[in-house]
Amino acid sequence: LLTYGGGSIKKNGLYDKIYDLLKDFDITELSGIEPNPRLQTVEKGAKICKEKDIEIILAVGGGSTMDCSKAIAAAACYDGKAWDLVQNPEMIQKALPVITITTMAATGSEADMFGVITNLETNEKLGMGSPLLMPKVAIMDPTYTFTVPENQTIAGIADMMSHIMEVYFTKDNAYLSDRICEAALKTCIQYAPIVKENPEDYDARAEILWANTIAMNGVCSAGKVASWSCHPMEHELSAYYDITHGVGLAIITPQWMRYILSEETVDKFVEYAKNVWNIEGEDKYQVANEGIKALEDFFVSLNIPMHLSDLNITDEYFKVMAKHAVEVGGLKDAYVELKPDDVYQILKMCL
Ligand code: NZQ
Ligand code: ZN
């Protein structure tokens, strides 16, 4: 089964190249996988796999196509409803093998065991993880990312930076992992303006693509155990408003940082400000706040909308979103525990 999204691979020639290389294969297609992939598309794909006796899935695209393909791979080997597996990934006993050709640097989905699926009927966007979903092969050629539009490129960089910061800010100490996190963040900071200026700069695209992978393949998080903080909040926003995931994260992250800055966390924020943003100073809180501001200014310099109101989001559903984020997002075990009211306050700060 060849899976892809809305057609970018047809425009940039990858589609023809795949058919050329796979002349001898019997290929069935599932196209039109949407950003924030829908449960219905997973069900459609699983049905095709069962009917056509599909043996392998070739996912060509960004995180949405790859995530959807992983969910299809599991649902194709399961007799019940696909949503059961999204909600309870420990029920996954078997999955078709998935090969990924990544066309966008953002999620690291080409080399991780996760997929994120949206159920529009229940306004839920849930991540599922199982070692059985890990792609068997990931093909990563930076030239395939040359055609990613500027706004998606930048949103992708914000997403991978968030993946790194989600594991950088933990209670565990893992010296080497933290230094790798800092190097990966600095790589994003160094190369984001370059790809923005010149989307066909091979070296810049390659550095960003590699940072996207190591952000999620376990290298940055080795030795650390913690639930993430910003992603559960963002998933509520994209479930309700179908916004671009990386944009939501760019808005939430600096406000979350300000909200949790305290006597317990300030030293970690000083480490971050000094090692990632080269900020110096004696006053701990000043250094910490300058580090947070540097991140915010960086996103602004890349033209990311930095307020939820810029995306026409109001506080209408914040209370219910906050409750749900805590229920399903593991925020109890985050770097700093977040209760529904904390999430509500952070979302308000993002308006
Ligand atoms: O659909 P096509 O036509 O391919 O266009 C896509 C889409 O419109 C376009 N695009 C991708 N590669 C392109 C390109 N356009 C031109 N040239 C190319 N080479 O970009 C748009 C966005 O694609 P999408 O796959 O939605 O982006 P992304 O990679 O950011 O994936 C986002 C999804 O991944 C989830 C997000 O929540 C969201 O649903 N996540 C997955 C994770 C994982 N698997 O581990 C972790 C993340 O935290 C995230 O939650
Ligand atoms: Zn993400």
Does ligand 1 lie within 6 Å of residue 35's CB atom?
yes
Instruction: Report whether 336 contacts 268 (CB < 8 A).
Output: no
Ligand 1 atom 15 nearest Cα: 148
Does ligand 1 lie within 6 Å of residue 67's CB atom?
yes
Strand 57-61 relative to strand 98-102, pairing:
parallel
Instruction: Report whether 340 contacts 323 (CB < 8 A).
Output: yes
Ligand nearest to C-alpha 218: 1
- Report pLDDT for 173: 84
Q: Is the pTM of this model over 0.85?
A: yes
Ligand 1 atom 49 nearest Cα: 107
* pLDDT tens track for 148-181: 999 999 999 999 999 999 999 998 889 999 999 9
* pLDDT tens track for 287-303: 999 999 999 999 999 99
Ligand 1 atom 28 nearest Cα: 63
Does ligand 1 lie within 6 Å of residue 153's CB atom?
no
* Distance (Å, whole) CA 207 – CA 203: 6
Q: Is the predicted pLDDT of residue 258 greater than 80, yes or no?
A: yes
Ligand 2 mean position to 321 CA, how many Å? Answer: 18
Ligand 1 mean position to 63 CA, how many Å? Answer: 4
* Distance (Å, whole) CA 328 – CA 334: 12
Ligand 1 atom 42 nearest Cα: 107
- State mean pLDDT over 339-345: 98
Question: What band does 110 get if pLDDT is binned at 50, 70 and 90?
Answer: very high
Looking at every residue in the chain, the average pLDDT score rounds to 97
